[in-house]
């Protein structure tokens, strides 16, 4: 495959760039309990068949209208969660130095984040949210408890870190990734505080990348989403501004901005990215359906097919791993198409292995590109 061989050449030439990169990631944090809804049980433990699809789960729930029903959920694993921690873990595993700021426990770090907090010298602002992730063959349903994330504010960051120390931390960054806007009520206020109080006071000679992920904004109003998008575009004045979206999010954003929503095929996905990027006038927009990915810059747009996995070991966090792979490519200085390959390969490795790939593992995965 031409796109994989080109990516491997670029990885070999530029992989040493990554060791010097430093990033700040935040601001959420969730304790994820990943479960399978039970269809039929035959014995104890995992002796059951799971409800295979979201559609079948919806039919089961819908049939209970006006009555009631009991659906067992079988816990598979409890793990650290949240867009920020998963993204930070994957970036760190690839080789970047990452500092995490977010909701990992207060006054003490929650045990599920203990090792992560040590590895990222994390600063915790609040108790983590709680997520029950119902996994199906065709997607997942995330049930979240998020009230603790109201404590994640610019003021709580300054109180926890100190204004001078925070300014110094941001001044040394190559990447600032602020994700899960949907679940953090004060995130747009945090954006504005960074734009007004922090970034204008920093040395502009350092090239910084600012990455944003709305994280399924369906529950937020169109006016809130548009306000966030117009605030995000202001970061372009201080570096490379990148907006990452899954396909559903991209269609929502396109509708709100008044550009063509498009479809999932190659030409429409590239057009979708380009339309959103043009409306926001930012450096890059990247959109990642489950089976492919595309991105657009001012110069052009690109598309790569993904190594789709029909029977993934895990899907929760797949999008965050795509983002981590894409950003790893950006930090190394790869071409846009190679960044896409890095993104889909990082996600493809994760859903098959249930862990984040090192740069060597990513290289091996790309060399042995799965057929399905």
CATH number for the domain that contains residue 200: 3.40.1190.20
Range 108-111, long-range pairs (CB < 8 A, 24+ positions): 110/29, 110/31
Is position 36 within any domain?
no
d(CA 235, CA 220): 22
Is position 45 within any domain?
no
Is position 274 within any domain?
yes
Torsion over CA: 286, 273, 284, 338 (sign): positive
Per-position pLDDT tens, the chain of length 372: 588 999 999 999 999 999 899 999 999 999 989 899 999 999 999 999 999 999 999 999 999 999 999 999 999 988 889 999 999 999 999 999 999 999 999 999 999 999 999 999 999 999 999 999 899 988 889 898 999 999 999 999 999 999 999 999 999 999 999 999 999 999 999 999 999 999 999 987 888 999 999 998 989 999 999 999 999 999 999 999 999 999 999 999 999 999 988 777 888 999 999 999 999 999 999 999 989 999 999 999 999 998 988 888 888 889 999 999 999 999 999 999 999 999 999 999 999 999 999 999 999 999 999 876
Is position 264 within any domain?
yes
**pLDDT at residue number 82:** 92
d(CA 282, CA 236): 6
**pLDDT at residue number 1:** 58
Is position 179 within any domain?
yes
Beta strands in 288-339 (DSSP E): 292-296, 301-305
Is position 63 within any domain?
no
Q: What is the pTM of this model?
A: 0.89
Residue 119: DSSP 8-state: H
Is position 48 within any domain?
no
**pLDDT at residue number 260:** 82
CB 38 within 8 A of CB 71: yes
Is position 339 within any domain?
yes
Q: How many domains does the chain have?
A: 1
d(CA 86, CA 112): 12
Range of the structural domain that residue 195 is part of: 2-30+81-367
């Amino acid at each position: 495959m031409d796109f994989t061989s080109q990516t491997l050449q670029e990885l070999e030439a530029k992989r040493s760039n990554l060791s010097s990169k430093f990033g700040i990631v935040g601001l959420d944090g969730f304790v994820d309990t990943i479960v399978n809804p039970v269809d039929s049980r035959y014995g104890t433990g995992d002796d059951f068949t799971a409800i295979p699809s979201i559609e079948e789960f919806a039919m089961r729930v819908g049939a209970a209208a006006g009555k009631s029903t009991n659906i067992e959920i079988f816990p598979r694993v409890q793990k650290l969660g949240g867009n920020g921690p998963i993204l930070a873990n994957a970036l760190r595993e690839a080789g970047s130095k990452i500092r995490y700021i977010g909701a990992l426990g207060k006054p003490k770090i929650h045990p599920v984040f203990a090792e992560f907090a040590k590895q990222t010298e994390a600063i915790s602002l609040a108790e983590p949210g709680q997520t029950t992730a119902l996994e199906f063959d065709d997607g997942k349903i995330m049930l979240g408890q998020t009230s603790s994330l109201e404590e994640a504010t610019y003021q709580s960051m300054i109180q926890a870190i100190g204004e001078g120390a925070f300014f110094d931390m941001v001044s040394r960054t190559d990447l600032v990734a602020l994700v899960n806007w949907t679940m953090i009520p004060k995130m747009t206020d945090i954006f504005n505080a960074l734009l007004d109080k922090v970034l204008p006071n920093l040395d502009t000679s350092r090239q910084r990348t600012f990455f944003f992920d709305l994280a399924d904004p369906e529950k937020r109003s169109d006016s809130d989403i548009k306000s966030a998008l117009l605030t995000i575009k202001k970061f372009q004045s201080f570096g490379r501004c990148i907006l990452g979206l899954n396909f559903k999010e991209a269609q929502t954003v396109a509708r709100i901005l008044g550009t063509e929503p498009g479809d999932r095929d190659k030409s429409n996905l590239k057009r979708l990215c380009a339309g959103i990027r043009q409306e926001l006038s930012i450096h890059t927009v990247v959109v990642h359906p489950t089976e492919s990915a595309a991105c657009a810059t001012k110069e052009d747009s690109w598309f790569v097919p993904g190594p789709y996995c029909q029977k993934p070991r895990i899907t929760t966090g797949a999008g965050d791993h795509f983002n981590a792979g894409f950003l790893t490519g950006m930090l190394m200085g790869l071409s846009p198409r190679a960044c896409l390959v890095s993104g889909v390969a990082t996600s493809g490795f994760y859903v098959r292995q249930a862990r984040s790939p090192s740069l060597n593992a990513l290289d091996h995965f790309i060399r042995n590109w799965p057929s399905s």
